[in-house]
Structure 1
Amino acid sequence: MADRVSPEVRSRMMAGIRGRDTRPEMMLRRGLHAAGFRFRLHDRTLAGRPDMVFPRWRAVLFAHGCFWHGHDCHLFRWPASRDEFWRAKIGRNREVDQRAAEQLGAAGWRHGVVWECALKGKARLPLTDVIEACADWLRSDVPTLEIRGLA
């Protein structure tokens, strides 16, 4: 299936997609900061360059976009064009996520993932519930956290 827009327009559209300071990430950051948590952003020294690093709690949080990380929810759908390219790209993203989680765990860091579908779309959770779940997890010693939208 051919692309519906010109290569120049597609390039401009793709260039506008952010890798950091995304809307879901900003929602989490604002909520956790208001709850009294202090964190560092995008620490290059840690595997996967986590979105938020909580040194006091020895924990990191990732705000994953459902499309880019191939989440099995209503927000993810395989693109109809360039199927081989997208399957390889999203597959690599999943591998990188898995490797980063293993490396963080081996280094003694707890890691959590908040999926985009938990914060937007028809399956979203109330933001206060997401922030409260993250705060409870940070204060605990549970090794992992995953927050996803309602099924």
Structure 2
Amino acid sequence: MKATPTTPETSARMARIRQRGTKIETIVATVLRDLGVRYRKNVKKLPGSPDFANNTRRWAIFVNGCFWHHHAGCWKATVPKSNRKFWITKFHDNQRRDARNVARLRREGYRVIIIWECQEGRIRNKLAKVLESRGVDSG
């Protein structure tokens, strides 16, 4: 996919977007610690480099931004008006890559949890329900 020229303002705005250490990632890390769950961050040896993972218990968590991963039905998953074709292709490619990585992890026996940026208020309940009900180690 060929990148198209952008305005300096757009380029500067996009450069300020964080990839790691986002607010939502910090919240997930806090919740995992509160639950007493052990994890590693940004595990590069696993498909898709999950944001959080436990190889022993075979689970992986991806913390996805609603815009970049184009969360279906989410108000944050907008398509910019300029360069629309580029963005639609980019979002589609991101979603295909995400699906491939999730499928590979599941084939390797991992449970995969996806936390969306817009789920900030429901993270604790979601993680507690998924991790504690499956006997994930807590210490």
Give the TM interval when normalised to the shorter protein.
Answer: 0.7 to 0.9
Structure 2 unaligned segments of length 5 or more: list them.
Answer: 1-5
Structure-2 separation of matches of 1:8 and 1:83: 18
Structure 2 match to 1:34: 34
SS in 1 for 2:53: strand
Q: Deviations over 1:44-95 (max 9, x none)?
A: 1101110001234210111111110111212221111101100011111000
For 1:64, the equivalent position in structure 2 comes to: 64
SS at match of 1:60: strand
SS in 2 for 1:57: coil
Q: Which residue of 1 aligns with 2:103?
A: 102
Gaps of 5+ in 1: 1-5, 120-124, 143-151
- The count of residues paired between Structure 1 and Structure 2 equals 129
Per-residue CA deviations over 1:118-150 (Å, capped at 9, x if unaligned) read 11xxxxx3xxx42132123123349xxxxxxxx
Q: Structure 1, residues 15-59: CA drift from partner, whole Å, max 9, x if none? A: 111111111111111121122112100111101110001234210
Counterpart CA distance in 2 for 1:116 and 1:21 is 13
1-structure distance, mates of 2:8, 2:45: 35
Counterpart residue number, 1:146: none
Inter-partner Cα distance in structure 1 for 2:84 and 2:12: 21
TM-score when scaled to structure 1? 0.78
Q: Percent identity?
A: 33
1:52 aligns with 2:52: yes
In the superposition, the TM-score normalised over structure 2's length comes to 0.85
Q: RMSD of the TM alignment (CA)?
A: 1.8
